[in-house]
Structure 1
Amino acid sequence: MSIEWVNRAVDGLRAWGREKGVEVDVDEVRLLCDYASDYLEVNELGDFRPGTFEELLLEIYPRKVIAPPESAGETVAAARTLVEFLVDTGEIAPKTAMRIRAVLDEIEPEMPAALADTTKFGMAKSIFSAINADSLDLADPAAVQRAVEEFDGLDEDACDCPGCAPLPAVRLAPPSEIARAVREVPLLRDAHLLVEWMAEGGRTTTVRKALRVKDARLVTEEAGVERPALAWRLALDLGLARLEGTTVFVEEGFIPLASRDEEDLLDLWAATVEFLIEAPVDITGNEAVDESIYAVHDLLYRLQVPVPPDGVAEYLRELAAGERVEGLDEALDRLAYTGTVHHLGGGVALTSHGLWGLRELYLEIGLEPPIAADLAEGDASGLISGLITSGLPAEVAEGDIERWLAGRTPEQAAAELLGAVAGAPAEMRGIAVTIVDRLSAEAEPAVTRCLDDAELRPHAIHWLASRGLPAPALTQDELLWVSVDMLALALPAAQIDPDGFAENMAVSGPPPYLIEDMWRVDHPDVVEVLELLGNTLPDKVTAKAARKAAFKARSRGIR
């Protein structure tokens, strides 16, 4: 938004109102100018046209402004005042003013319904409209305190659905890669093609600025534009086209998609993603998908893995209170046309530029999605600690591990990883050992050197023996110790998903006779491990053995 011209316009309007004795709703007019500047490429007062007001009052206001339907009359009145100011000061011609007044007459009865139509709400408006404005009186200190206390207590009963979870750390592709991908987005390509095709042919729109049915058919046949109606709405939203009445012109400064520079492409793509997420338009033709377009993208952003169509359908059913979702495969194909998602590994996932664009949208509404560091670029300590704390999806973390290992020989990798966790907690040691376990026999010298470390020795013996390499036999004490150590690695995940942990233990857990003796192990996590086994193992006899062993370990004072 150009703040300077809006400020000058408002100052001029105030002076004009005083001179003419006209009451001016300055705040409402400022909002009109702000949104016209932000979304409709209005850069000065003389740029206002009939279509500007139509788009502002029937599309932008319902999407952005939280206002009751009955306030529509005040907004239209402010628009009429602005028109009188524009014509009186010579910013627009009298004939233009007449056309705008006629459009405002048509808008006035339609605007209350548009403000009340929740399908037109943008994401931020939908969120804040759900908040009861009467629930918090900021003038009342007691109400403020109650609100703080309620907020502090939210975690106790926090919703565990994907949309309420904290945003995960994401790995973004370099801007140059995103820009290259944006140039290939079918929807953006079609929007540019369509504008040039319409302008060169001297074609016109309907009075509602929509594409004519005949032109939509012709541009598909002649230029290969796949979704003309959607591409046209995007072209108008991005300001690629200019309308004079119903005649289409290429906007001044129009640049073909292939000729745009990196910065311009990123700005264009951010605006495109906002349009797709927030605009009340037909994106896929599937009502269930289009009404949940933000939720679908948000789900894919948070999971960062390909989600099978059945998984998307299940999520949409939950959002729609159990209603069945039909035609999802076709809808997802149409969604891929927009460039935000693609088919991958039997499911659908965000494209690299879709991920980037959605993160930009989160930033726009005041969220701060974390960026995950590239763990492959650090040392062994950075890799291990990053795998614990970054919250990266397994597929992304696996890529980091593979690239980190690719830069080292097996012996170098084993030496760095095992050296980084000497004396470290079990979780760090377990991750290092797990990575070393995928190394070939070339790592033998580095692993063998760890036989002198009491905590790493059992792991080293197991590694060597499993590859048929020379290794001492595990003593009973070492076998018990390494069993506890590997279970300690599973503690964080087990606390999150005890049922999953119990299922795994039922299949591959230690036998009862081994659990009975674990209390003897001098391991800092032995009590916690045994308590977890005692509380989660499905076999009652084994669970009882674990609880008895935990009691004995506590009696020994092991903590």
Structure 2
Amino acid sequence: MSAERPSLPPVRLNSEAELARDALAAPLFVRAVRLARWAGPDTRVGAGGELVEAQLPAAAEHLDLPADEDGAAYASEAWRLAVDTGLLDVTDPEEGEDDEGADGEAMDGETEGTVTTGENLALLTGGSPQDVLSIWLDGLDAVHADATAPVLDDFADLVGEDGSIDFDALDWDPEAEAEFLDGVLGNLYLLTLADNGAGEGPVPLPALAASMIVPDDMGEPTDDILEQVSEAMMRLDDQFRLLEPIGIVEYHPVDEALLVEEGEAADASAAGADDEDVTRYGMVKLTPLGLYGIRARMLEAGVDAPAVGDLAGKGADALLDGIAHYPESAARAEVKLWLAEYGTGGAVSAAAELLAAARGADEGAPLRRLHCQQALALAGPSAEPAVRAVLGDPELGGLARVWLAERGAADVPAPPEDMIFWLAIDTIAAQLDADGELDELQGLIEGLSAQHSGFFDEVWRVDHPATADVLEAMGRLHSDKKAAKDARKAAFKARSRAGG
């Protein structure tokens, strides 16, 4: 293709202020902030920064959690997040204990650390939305790490006689686990953006698991594949339960009643399950905050994940190349943001820059000119002086006349015949590069060729880099057999004229 396609479609993100509010409202983040404000000099923490077991009931009570194991677990989870995100600073007693007699020992004989308020806590109220989101992203990384940690059914089995832990017995590959979860989140991100945002509904967990397991070229999944999908579903069910409180997904978990009958989860991954049944096997949906968070992780990993607004403030050449393969609505939104940078009185300057960037004989130039024309339509009537200035330009004069005619402008000079043919070739070349709908492209080809008698007798002489390629495409796509044959003959003449 003439322009490098992004690996993902552009995402429309909420404003940073809206996203920061969502981050501050995420349940796990709310608990972490409350514990950070609750902690004081007398709060007892272990040497690893964890809240000691004796403190967990008080922490759970402060969070209005039940006084049971679940409440203690939620409190411990929130405390870890507060430490991981810099809302709390924990100091190991072995660091800087210069005074004699400072034993740093807990009543149970284990070394304890000290806790102080972290610098990031003040940023949640006094910082910018970017500050809040940066802290929240650290929290997302921490929760992601928890979600990919090994599941320890019986920790005692991993401890050897000498007290050491046999990590090999875990059968756990941290990189593979993280890669799998990132792949699932990437697929969920792509499904959310599918069909220009039409895929924003929840995704069945079986379909999401199958997207990572079932080969694309496989017809009916084998029993082994279905078993792998079932195992992946159960792992993802645990992981999405952990990820939901940080605010990136809305998750309807697997109905536990379905797990009673062995093998039923695997059956759900088959295509035969109806919609009512599929919802019982888990449904997941990315939130606006989730779109932001997953995109941030992908960008950090080097993935090309554009967002609408990325091109605002950049040059017109970057704009026209950047939106080359955007969906139409996303391209319009990007252009509007780009034009807004010029203000209400900058339409002429913006139009002049767009027209200058649209020139060229390279492969991507026709598509640039197409998007330039579409961008000028959004610039408004104030752009007319810049458009009239290129009426005599052999590359831009045609689109300038189209723009003026569409606005009902007066005194638009008639185009010379060679400009009409050149514009026809350029327009079809742009549509071929855009990979639009076949019916629309066919209609364009037949409409342009019908506007001028003897079209194919003249068009092969057009001095345009894409003339031969366009005529060959017209020969393939024109529904009239005679016209298609004439197009192929014209393509041969064009190649002979160009020397090959």
Report sequence identity in percent.
Answer: 29
Equivalent-residue separation in structure 1 for 2:396 and 2:296 (angstroms):
45
The equivalent residue for 2:402 is 462
Higher helix share: 1
Equivalent-residue separation in structure 1 for 2:335 and 2:427 (angstroms):
20
The equivalent residue for 1:48 is none
Q: 1:378 aligns with which of 314, 317, 341?
A: 314
Q: 2:140 aligns with which of 257, 266, 273?
A: 273
The answer (yes or no) to whether the contact 1:309–1:348 under 8 Å persists in 2 is no
The equivalent residue for 2:77 is 233
Equivalent-residue separation in structure 2 for 1:267 and 1:464 (angstroms):
47
SS of alignment partner, residue 452 of structure 1:
coil
Q: CA deviation at 1:274?
A: 2.0
Equivalent-residue separation in structure 2 for 1:501 and 1:292 (angstroms):
35
1:493-504, aligned counterparts within 5 Å? 493-494=434-435, 500-504=436-440
SS of alignment partner, residue 378 of structure 1:
coil
Q: 1:522 aligns with which of 441, 463, 469?
A: 463
Equivalent-residue separation in structure 2 for 1:520 and 1:360 (angstroms):
47
Q: CA deviation at 1:187?
A: 1.8
The equivalent residue for 1:151 is none
Closer, same or farther: CA 294–183 of 1 in aligned 2, 3 Å: same
1:308-323, aligned counterparts within 5 Å? 308-309=200-201, 314-321=207-214
SS of alignment partner, residue 253 of structure 1:
strand
Q: Amino acid of the residue matched to residue 309 of structure 1?
A: G
Normalising by the residue count of structure 1, what TM-score does the alignment of the two structures yield? 0.50
The answer (yes or no) to whether the contact 2:31–2:63 under 8 Å persists in 1 is no
Greater Cα offset, 549-558 or 315-324: 315-324
Q: CA deviation at 1:486?
A: 1.5
The answer (yes or no) to whether the contact 2:192–2:286 under 8 Å persists in 1 is no
1:336-355, aligned counterparts within 5 Å? 337-340=245-248, 348-351=287-290, 354-355=293-294
Closer, same or farther: CA 379–413 of 1 in aligned 2, 3 Å: same
The equivalent residue for 2:32 is 191
The equivalent residue for 1:436 is 376
1:324-473, aligned counterparts within 5 Å? 337-340=245-248, 348-351=287-290, 354-355=293-294, 357-359=296-298, 362=301, 367=302, 374-388=310-324, 398-406=332-340, 407-408=342-343, 409-423=346-360, 425-470=365-410, 471-473=412-414
Closer, same or farther: CA 415–541 of 1 in aligned 2, 3 Å: same
Q: CA deviation at 1:462?
A: 1.3
Deviation digits for residues 206-237 of structure 1, max 9, x if unmatched? Answer: x99799899969944689xx998556335336
Closer, same or farther: CA 437–335 of 1 in aligned 2, 3 Å: same
The equivalent residue for 1:298 is 186
Closer, same or farther: CA 357–312 of 1 in aligned 2, 3 Å: farther
Deviation digits for residues 375-430 of structure 1, max 9, x if unmatched? Answer: 32234344334445xx8787765444223312153333222322343455333333
Q: CA deviation at 1:358?
A: 1.5
The answer (yes or no) to whether the contact 1:437–1:463 under 8 Å persists in 2 is yes
Q: CA deviation at 1:184?
A: 4.5
SS of alignment partner, residue 498 of structure 2:
coil
The equivalent residue for 1:118 is none
1:483 maps onto 2:424 in alignment: yes
The answer (yes or no) to whether the contact 2:348–2:385 under 8 Å persists in 1 is yes
SS of alignment partner, residue 450 of structure 1:
coil
Q: Amino acid of the residue matched to residue 308 of structure 1?
A: E
Deviation digits for residues 487-524 of structure 1, max 9, x if unmatched? Answer: 22234333xxxxx5424313544345467453232222
The equivalent residue for 2:152 is none
Equivalent-residue separation in structure 2 for 1:200 and 1:222 (angstroms):
25
Equivalent-residue separation in structure 2 for 1:202 and 1:208 (angstroms):
9
Alignment RMSD: 5.7
Query: May I ask how many residue pairs the two structures share in their alignment?
Result: 374
Closer, same or farther: CA 418–550 of 1 in aligned 2, 3 Å: same
Equivalent-residue separation in structure 2 for 1:431 and 1:437 (angstroms):
10
Q: CA deviation at 1:530?
A: 2.4
Q: Amino acid of the residue matched to residue 380 of structure 1?
A: A
Structure 2: state its 5+ residue gaps. Answer: 93-105, 150-177, 215-220, 222-228, 252-284
1:253 maps onto 2:116 in alignment: yes
Closer, same or farther: CA 222–382 of 1 in aligned 2, 3 Å: same
Q: Amino acid of the residue matched to residue 401 of structure 1?
A: V
The answer (yes or no) to whether the contact 1:376–1:400 under 8 Å persists in 2 is yes
Equivalent-residue separation in structure 2 for 1:464 and 1:235 (angstroms):
64
Q: CA deviation at 1:336?
A: 5.6
Q: Amino acid of the residue matched to residue 200 of structure 2?
A: P
SS of alignment partner, residue 378 of structure 2:
coil
